[in-house]
Amino acid sequence: MERSLRRDREAMGHRHRKAGLPAAVVGALLLAACAPMGSGDGQTTMRLSLNQAENHPSFIALDNWSTYMAENSEEVRIDVFPNETLGAQAEALQLVSTGIADMAIVSGTQLENLNEDFLVFNMPRVFDDVEHQMQVIHDPQITGELYASLEESNNITVLGGFTQGARSVYSTEGPVHTPEDLDGDKIRVQESELNVAMAQALGGAGTPMAFGELYTGLQSGVVDAAENNEVSYYTQGHYEVAPYWSYTNHLVGLDYLIINTEVLNSLSDAERAVFEEGWAATHVEHAELWGELTEEAIAGAEAGGAAFNEVDEAAFDDALGGLAEDFITTPTQQELYDAARAAAQPSGSGDE
């Protein structure tokens, strides 16, 4: 593939940043949104909202896509806004739907709130590992209808996604080995009914909260624990305030790239081909970066005082076992679940 990937990422190091949508940003976006697409010098700049910091693999891969478009496309430019500068994911979803922003990376939990079929891919144990997940979510035979399902209702098309890696619990209070250790703890979860039920299954009480509020939430004791991957744990600095990481590995999380459907449809065939080729290379690069940056994140958090421990896996397996039955209730959900499971490597052919 003809693609010069700019691997100029900074050394991993967390960065605190503040969420929020400054009035000036909103104003600029609204003004820009009023300009007809493709007007002026013939170029269209797509604004892409991200809630991660610049040292997160999602920003690195998206920034490289932006460079790729500048080098390969006559018309389309991509401008990545990290750190929730355009708002938290729930707002970003609205901005893309209304066309004020063009694209966003949003967690699967956000889409589950628009179409409950998406919750299948947010389930514990649906994906065995990152490779299995990437294979399923970029297979149009499995995901074609799902990814087009928000076009009429919300003017949003899903183009594919990035892994969130395996998510585990971390706490301000001490190591967790069994669900009983989380008894009475408030666990921050993403804004989703499934996630609230999952926190309960893990042994605590789910408190939905936007990602950008979590550092302060942990620091001030509004919540006692949270769950995420090591990369976000490190790049958000959460290890500083919740230094006990426990490998519950309760699910392999998923982020989606969403785009305003009208914007996507306004691309010429030639521009769309360049755009899609760039995106395909971007999610492949992200998956490659994931493992490497996870190792760096663990080392960085450990150096910063975090402790990582294993858990009683069987106890957590038992606790999470009932969720699929409670939440997978329609034939479409069951089909998606079965298709995802059918794509898994048979057990015994490799552990990873």
Which residues here bind ligand GCU, judged by CB under 6 A? 51, 89, 107, 164, 190, 211, 228, 232, 255
> How crowded is residue 144: how many other Cβ atoms within 10 Å of its Cβ?
10
Contact 150, 114 (CB under 8 A): yes
**Gap between the Cα atoms of 283 and 157, Å rounded:** 16
Nearer to ligand GCU, 73 or 97 (CB): 97
Minimum CB separation of residue 36 from ligand GCU in Å reads 31
Q: Is 100 left (phi over 0), alpha (psi -120 to 50) or beta?
A: alpha
Question: Phi then psi for 258, rounded to 5 degrees?
Answer: -115, 150
Burial 1-26 (b: 16+ CB within 10 A, else e): eebebeeebeebebeebebebeeeee
Nearer to ligand GCU, 3 or 167 (CB): 167
Q: Quick one: how far is CA 61 from the chain centroid?
A: 13
Minimum CB separation of residue 59 from ligand GCU in Å reads 11
Minimum CB separation of residue 253 from ligand GCU in Å reads 6
Nearer to ligand GCU, 142 or 226 (CB): 226
Minimum CB separation of residue 211 from ligand GCU in Å reads 3
Minimum CB separation of residue 78 from ligand GCU in Å reads 18
Nearer to ligand GCU, 130 or 274 (CB): 130
**Gap between the Cα atoms of 287 and 88, Å rounded:** 23
Q: At 62, which helix (H) or strand (E)?
A: helix 57-72
Contact 301, 235 (CB under 8 A): no
Nearer to ligand GCU, 209 or 267 (CB): 209
Bridge partners, residue 79, by sequence: 47
**Gap between the Cα atoms of 275 and 77, Å rounded:** 10
DSSP SS3 for 48 = strand
Minimum CB separation of residue 231 from ligand GCU in Å reads 7
Minimum CB separation of residue 50 from ligand GCU in Å reads 8
DSSP for 264-315, written as a single string: HHTS-HHHHHHHHHHHHHHHHHHHHHHHHHHHHHHHHHHHTT-EEE---HHH
Minimum CB separation of residue 196 from ligand GCU in Å reads 13
Nearer to ligand GCU, 267 or 290 (CB): 290
Nearer to ligand GCU, 214 or 274 (CB): 214
The residue type at 162? F
Closest listed residue to residue 204, CA positions, set 222, 172, 174, 182: 182
Contact 19, 202 (CB under 8 A): no
Closest listed residue to residue 168, CA positions, set 247, 82, 86: 247
Nearer to ligand GCU, 51 or 83 (CB): 51
Nearer to ligand GCU, 92 or 267 (CB): 92
Minimum CB separation of residue 128 from ligand GCU in Å reads 19
